[in-house]
Structure 1
Amino acid sequence: MATELLLQVSDLRAGYGRAEVLTGLNLQLPKGQVVTVIGPNGAGKSTLLNALMGVLPSRGRVLFDGQDLADASLEDRVMMGLALVPEKRELFTTMPVEDNLVLGGYRAMRLRVPNWRGELERVYSLFPRLKERRTQLAGTLSGGERQMLAVGRALMSGPKLLMLDEPSLGLAPLVVRDIFSIISRLRQDGVSILLVEQNARAALQVADHGYVLETGEIRLEGPAAQLADDPRVIDTYLGAKKSTA
């Protein structure tokens, strides 16, 4: 039985002004899986997420949970279940941690989801540090804690698809390990995730399927474990063949 697709992207083209960054991108994401897009800086990874979220105008066809997003606004996409954690996190820094999380529940509140505030406890179970700091201003958090808050806020909406833009950027190695551990746990819980990441090794370890994006085009794709063993990926992104120990 074929896995049901949550996201189907065909011939996606997007950019800034007259500069086209994505030049006919095709991508699929099955429900309940983690799909990663890796590639060098400037390849178009963030452009892809911003186009899918409706932040950037785009051309091509995007089907999300069977619905065509051609005429869907940013707010429409949020209400349909798309959630983006941007690279810069974009928290409300002068507000407490818990208020940031509650604001993330906007979609659930609008949809009148019963006891939507109960999702707070799930977020706190994933990120115990946020519970410890729930009354602290978001602007006083460390980089890792801010990333946890950004992910937690997105989860408060009950998204069908969680899109993560460079979640490891600027974080210490131990914190990066924690973030990817959370991504693995979310996958086990059935959350569908589109992960854009420069840390190719960590991304391929946590993902089901991967795409290599270079200069706006998909150069390689396949099961994540297969890409991790591909000599082209090893030479360009991993530096050395992973140990089999």
Structure 2
Amino acid sequence: MAAPLLDVRGLHAGYGRAEVLTGLDLQLAPGQVVTVIGPNGAGKSTLLNALVGLLPARGQVVFDGVDLADSTLEERVMLGLALVPERRELFGSMAVEDNLVLGGWRPMKLRIPNWRDGLARVYELFPRLKERRAQLAGTLSGGERQMLAVGRALMAQPKLLMLDEPSLGLAPLVVREIFQIITRLRGQGVSILLVEQNARAALEVADHGYVLETGAIVLDGPAPALARDARVIDTYLGAARSQA
């Protein structure tokens, strides 16, 4: 069996004296989409922020065979971790294409040849971004901003793409489009760690799922099995789903 791309053991993290994650274990294989679902405040965003190095954490995190203990945020990014944060954090006064080019900082620094070819890939995934490539990022709609945030992360040629609540605040049609993109990326072999409150949509696109509640994993398994699990249905998918 291949070694996991991401192997997390006994992860503790939080804010100041408030511990949010209380010994979390999680694994993700190369090319896999893994989702972490759970209620607001369960620690989902804390998990991603700890993995990328935005928060101090205890426990073991091994990424692509490298123990990340004492690694800085920049070092983790250079190893191939990319986070699309919940707030997207774009450069609103810069054009769409300039935001994307900035995302190519990692392959540029690693001197990966033809890294700018990633623009064509992003525009193929998100034709709307190509149409708006000269437009200021701050003038985009919510859905377009999310597409730009994902596209910018892909420009880094990451080994692991981490998405924090990509459907948050978006209209249902746009949510469907975002999850179709995740499905396409999965088909291209992109490894994805997806944190999401929309449990139904997340489990439909994922290979494996974890249920996080109050800082601890309470359930995990293949995503289709979790989608049929009575506890997940009752808590996250609605009682109507169990009668379907």
After TM superposition, the score normalised by the length of structure 2 is 0.98
User: Structure 1: 5+ residue runs without aligned partners?
Assistant: none
Per the alignment, residue 191 of structure 1 pairs with: 190
Write the distance in 1 (CA, Å) between the matches of 2:235 and 2:242.
17
Write the mapping of 1:14-163 to structure 2, written as runs, cut at 5 A: 14-163=13-162
SS at match of 1:5: coil
Write the distance in 1 (CA, Å) between the matches of 2:84 and 2:240.
31
- Contact 2:37-2:196 within 8 A present in 1 as well: yes
Paired letter, 1:76: E
**Identity rate, percent:** 79
SS at match of 2:168: coil
Note the alpha carbon deviations across 1:86-113, whole angstroms, 9 max, x for none: 0000000000000000000000000101
Aligned: 1:226 with 2:225: yes
- Contact 1:208-1:224 within 8 A present in 2 as well: yes
SS at match of 1:108: helix
Number of aligned residues: 244
How far residue 221 of structure 1 moved from its aligned partner, in angstroms, is: 0.2
Aligned-CA RMSD value: 1.1
Write the distance in 2 (CA, Å) between the matches of 1:11 and 1:4.
18
Note the alpha carbon deviations across 1:23-49, whole angstroms, 9 max, x for none: 000000000000000000000000000
Paired letter, 1:160: K
How far residue 71 of structure 1 moved from its aligned partner, in angstroms, is: 1.4
Write the distance in 1 (CA, Å) between the matches of 2:145 and 2:239.
31
User: Structure 2: 5+ residue runs without aligned partners?
Assistant: none
SS at match of 1:56: coil
Paired letter, 1:85: V
- Contact 1:229-1:241 within 8 A present in 2 as well: no
Paired letter, 1:137: L
Write the distance in 1 (CA, Å) between the matches of 2:77 and 2:193.
15
How far residue 244 of structure 1 moved from its aligned partner, in angstroms, is: 9.8
How far residue 3 of structure 1 moved from its aligned partner, in angstroms, is: 3.8
Paired letter, 2:216: E
